[in-house]
Structure 1
Amino acid sequence: MRVAAALLAVLVAGCAANQGGQPEVGDTRFVAGDGTMQVFEASERRAAPAIEGPTLDGGEASLAAHKGKVVVLNFWASWCGPCRAEAPVLKEVAAKTKGSGVEFLGVDFKDRQADALAFERTEQTGYPHLFDQPGKVALAFQGTVPPAAIPSTLIIDKQGRIAARALGAVTYSDLMRTVTKVRDQ
């Protein structure tokens, strides 16, 4: 019963990974989050770190390539239940805001590339995903996003500053409202 309760807590609140990239039963190295967007006032916003790297499909992606646009940065892994649950929400908001100055970039964290590619083939999100198996991209955001907090979503404003964050799976209404607010500022 204790194992089942611990597993349920991980699935409901967030995911964590061991060194091999897969969660362990009873693993408590996660940061609980309810997916609610926390919006930062313009005067409180910190510059997002410069991140770049290989994408799941073998290309390259960087935050700098989206300069002047609002970027939704989502940290996920194929083995993370809440990540799987929120994928359709991200896909829908990405599709509805595409062409309006909003771009999405996924960060596949501590995952097996084959598993992540299978997940992406199933979900067909329509946006690129950095392959961050070692967790370097996540560590660049330490202080804003705890490295073990997945799923996590950041919204980077047009000036390259972190405007909002959510720890845990996001809802459609909260993400759409926040993306629109940051875009229209």
Structure 2
Amino acid sequence: MSLSRAPRAALLTAVTVAGGLVLLTACGGGETGKSGGGDDSNFVTNTGGISTVAQGERRSTGELSGETLEGENLDVADLKGKIVVLNVWGSWCPPCRVEAPHFVKVSNELKPKGVEFVGINTRDRQKGPALAFEKDYDVDYPSLFDPAGKLLVNGFPKGTLAPQAIPSTVVLDREGKIAARSLMALNEKQLRKMIDPLIAEK
């Protein structure tokens, strides 16, 4: 019986090792080329933590419309023809405070080049703290008020570069398609790294 058990034990060990290698390969492969939605999205993650999509492979957002913190209606689709920088933030978020001055500066400098900034304020249950944040940092571009995160769920289809953290920044090209994403707080240099290639596109 010891002779018959030995080959069986060796076979089980080989199957277990092979299975483990397949599992590791599948997990490792899923880290690149896939977004949080789990579908192929054909993006490349640069060393700077910015994910981009090639011009011919980009996908449109879902509906991104609603009421701003100032009580006005805003539909991001109406900004088609411009490059749109979507910044997901909350007044309670320390990294959002760090990046805010950079966003205000770049927004003011690039507006003449056809770049529009739109915030998506989330997890602030009341508008008051968010409005105070905008005042403190001289934020003069609009922010959609999305306390429950519905826009973040419905506005970015499965398989696209969806926001997955706060702060997150997503940049849309002139056709309203998702071109780049960052899941960290950005400084001016990093932000321009996301936008400048889209300004240069024809």
Band the TM-score falls in, shorter-chain normalisation: 0.7 to 0.9
The correspondence of residues 90-101 of structure 1 with structure 2, limited to 5 A, is 90-101=103-114
Whether 1:145 and 2:158 are equivalent positions in the alignment is: no
Mapped to 1, the partners of 2:197 and 2:184 lie a distance apart of: 20
Conserved 8 A contact 2:68-2:145? yes
Output one character per residue of 1:133-179: Cα deviation in whole Å (capped at 9) or x when no partner: 121111122643255x1100000000111000000101211211321
Partner of 2:59: 46
- Letter matched to residue 145 of structure 1: A
Q: Higher helix fraction: Structure 1 or Structure 2?
A: 2
Instruction: Give 1:40 shift.
Output: 1.2
- Runs of 5+ consecutive residues of structure 1 not aligned to the other structure: 1-33
Larger Rg: 2
Instruction: Give 1:62 shift.
Output: 1.2
1:80 equivalent among 78, 83, 93? 93
Partner of 2:75: 62
Partner of 1:158: 174
Whether 1:127 and 2:144 are equivalent positions in the alignment is: no
Mapped to 2, the partners of 1:150 and 1:87 lie a distance apart of: 13
Between 1 and 2, higher relative CO (CA 8 Å, sep ≥ 6) is seen in 1
- Runs of 5+ consecutive residues of structure 2 not aligned to the other structure: 1-46
Conserved 8 A contact 1:77-1:110? yes
Partner of 1:117: 131
Identity %: 41
Scaled by the length of structure 2, what TM-score is found? 0.71
Count of residues paired in the alignment:
151
Scaled by the length of structure 1, what TM-score is found? 0.77
- Letter matched to residue 97 of structure 1: L
